Structure 1
Amino acid sequence: MAFIQTDTFTIRGYETDAFGRLSILALMNLMQESANRNAIDYGIGIDDLARQGYGWMLMRFRLRMHQYPRYGQTIRVITYPTSVEKYFIHRDFRVVADDDTLLADAASTWLVFSIDKRSMVPLPDFIRALAVPADISSLPRLSLKPDFQFSVAEPSHEKEVTVGWFSIDQNQHVNNVSYVEWLLEAVDKKRLETRELAEIDLVYRTETHWGDQLRIRSISEENETIIHRIDYSDESGKDVLLARSQWRIS
């Protein structure tokens, strides 16, 4: 069977930002919750995979904000898989208001890793056999190698973080939303006060764990665009995440 997940949420105070808008972090968590519920219906939830020695990992995510919902507003989060390949499963999200106004949408790409080896594996047959809903409208598939890269110029902002216990999820690595929180916290104060995030495009390169030391760097470009990079702050400098955010006057 094919499943389309639809969840209704009323925005609570602790899910809003300083201006009463639904925060990007809260929205991503709601999307993740809906994706988890959809995966459970398909029999490929976190526990289903763990019993067979696997875990989910997000590889690509692009979120576009068309209109920010606010405190007390009721929204619907709709998600479903759009295609399944040998190594990747693609999933779309739509966030709509009561009157069906499109508030946000997102495309994502997921992979499966071996819990023992902590390395990517082909999708198991029980995942590749799932049925994608018919007659769905899919967002453009995300490139595995997007055109943005971290500039060689000196970063305009830089900070370090130590991975804490409460950033770790059931897969024993940092939850994907925590990285977004860290890179947004590194954005300059003036932009956060006068702009709102219009789009964020994320490339997750490797997992990190409790106690790891990470460095968050960003470079402001033209047209209200920032290029972000999170890497290990040790001598390896291994990339953890690359991202591009686009902003607009709020």
Structure 2
Amino acid sequence: MAFIQTDTFTLRGYECDAFGRMSIPALMNLMQESANRNAIHYGIGIADLARQGYGWMLMRFCLRIHQYPRYGQTIQLTTYPTIVEKYFIYRDFRVLAEDGTLLADATSTWLVFDMEKRSMVPLPGFIRSLSPPVNVDPLPKLPLKPDFQTTIIEPTDTKSVEVGWLSIDQNQHVNNVAYVQWLLESIDTERLQTWELAEIDLVYRTESHWQDWLQVQSMTETRESILHRIIHRESGKDMLLARSRWRINQ
């Protein structure tokens, strides 16, 4: 059986930024919540995987904001799996206003890892056998290796972050949204006050844990785009690679 998850949310003050727009971390958190509800219906939620020694890990995520939801606005968030392969499962998200206006959409790529060995494994049979909805128009699949992944970043700005307890999720590693919050907090003041994020494309490379020290690096690519890299300070390993695109505040 195929399941499409649809949730309705009314935006609260703490989910909005200084301009009254929904914040990117808040939006991603709601997307993650809806995705987990959908996974539970399929019998592949966090608890279902944990009972068999597995966990979910986000590998790719690309979010596009067409129009920012604002404080007090009611939105409809829809999510569903689109493709299931040997190692990856793909999931789309759409955010609509009450009048049906498309506010945002996102596509993502997920993998399963062995909780004890902390290594990627093929999708178990109970996941590979699920049936994605057929009456949807899926977004294009994200490339596993986007072009910016091979770009050498010569950072123009670097900030250090210690992983706190509240950034750890049920899989015992840093939650994917925490990385995005650190990335956005590293953006220069003028851009944060006069521009708004239009798109963010993310590659999650490996996990980090409580009390790790990370470095958040950024480099201007064009007037509208910035390249980002989060690395483990001691090992130098990449935790996250990303490209953000910006537009003047609307």
User: Normalising by the residue count of structure 2, what TM-score does the alignment of the two structures yield?
Assistant: 0.98
How far does residue 126 in structure 1 lie from its aligned partner after superposition? 0.2
Partner of 1:170: 170
How far does residue 249 in structure 1 lie from its aligned partner after superposition? 0.3
Q: Secondary structure of 1:148's partner?
A: helix
Q: Distance in 1 between matches of 2:141 and 2:150?
A: 22
How far does residue 150 in structure 1 lie from its aligned partner after superposition? 6.6
Counterpart contact for 1:67–1:104, Cα < 8 Å: yes
Counterpart contact for 1:149–1:227, Cα < 8 Å: no
Cα offsets for 1:80-115 (capped at 9, x unmatched)? 000100000000000000001000000000000000
Partner of 1:237: 236
Counterpart contact for 2:153–2:218, Cα < 8 Å: no
Partner of 1:147: 147
Q: Distance in 1 between matches of 2:104 and 2:119?
A: 32
Counterpart contact for 1:11–1:22, Cα < 8 Å: yes
Cα offsets for 1:149-203 (capped at 9, x unmatched)? 3754631111001101000000000000000000100000000000000000000
Counterpart contact for 1:11–1:73, Cα < 8 Å: yes
Q: Distance in 2 between matches of 1:111 and 1:50?
A: 14
Counterpart contact for 2:58–2:108, Cα < 8 Å: yes
Q: Distance in 1 between matches of 2:223 and 2:103?
A: 22
Segments of 5+ residues of structure 2 without an aligned counterpart are none
AA matched with 1:65:
I
Residues 171 and 205 (structure 1), Cα distance of their counterparts in 2 relative to 1, 3 Å cut:
same
Residues 99-178 of structure 1 correspond to what in structure 2 (within 5 A)?
99-149=99-149, 151-152=151-152, 154-178=154-178
Residues 1-250 of structure 1 correspond to what in structure 2 (within 5 A)?
1-149=1-149, 151-152=151-152, 154-234=154-234, 236-250=235-249
Q: Distance in 2 between matches of 1:149 and 1:53?
A: 31
Q: Secondary structure of 1:61's partner?
A: strand
> Number of paired residues?
249
AA matched with 1:139:
L
Q: Secondary structure of 1:149's partner?
A: helix
Q: Flag as ranges the 4+ runs of structure 1 deviating above 6 A.
A: none
Root-mean-square deviation over aligned CA pairs: 0.9
